[in-house]
Amino acid sequence: MSKTHVTTTVNGDTAEFLASPGMTLLDALRDELGLTGAKEGCGSGDCGACSVMLDGRLVCSCLVLAPEVEGRRVETIEGMAQGGQLHPLQQKFLEHAALQCGFCTPGLLVASKALLDANPDPTETEARYWLAGNLCRCTGYDKIIRAVMDAAAELRQERTA
């Protein structure tokens, strides 16, 4: 079968690639565009390590077929730090030691940013349920949740300042 030409926007820039049948957005990002920040932990939408934003919605990129992103807007972990500055979530993850092996971290950061975009003042329970689709096997989630709550507080302060 022939490949499909796909034009899309990734982290603000136009990107083009050829998609073979069955190629997922995750495959396209990793193998065609060289963006290996999104990880494949399961390939079935259960672990969240491949989380990206598609037109402002949080998705598992392993469950999106690559041609589906034609003409749409994809944001990945590689676009989170801006102008050489870490996003407050990234900074708080480091300050709180919210990662150990770091494999789930890109997905958790993308999902956490989606949470705070949708709900700038989540309760701990809301944060835990929002992030329930992102598996972490190292941390027990304690420091991740603290980092997210702390980043949320800082972002709220930035907004009111």
CB of 83 to another protein, least distance (A): 13
Q: Which residues bind another protein (CB under 8 A)?
A: 20, 22, 30, 35-44, 46-47, 49, 76-78, 80-81, 86, 90, 93-97, 99-106, 109, 124-125, 127-129, 131-146
Q: Which is nearer to another protein, 42 or 72 (CB)?
A: 42
For helices 105-118 and 142-160, angle between their N-to-C axes, nearest 10 degrees:
40
Residue 68 or residue 78: which is nearer to another protein going by CB? 78
Q: Please tell me the distance from the alpha carbon of residue 15 to that of residue 70, in angstroms, as a whole number.
A: 10
Supply the minimum distance, in Å, between the C-beta of residue 160 and another protein: 25
Nearer to another protein, 54 or 136 (CB): 136
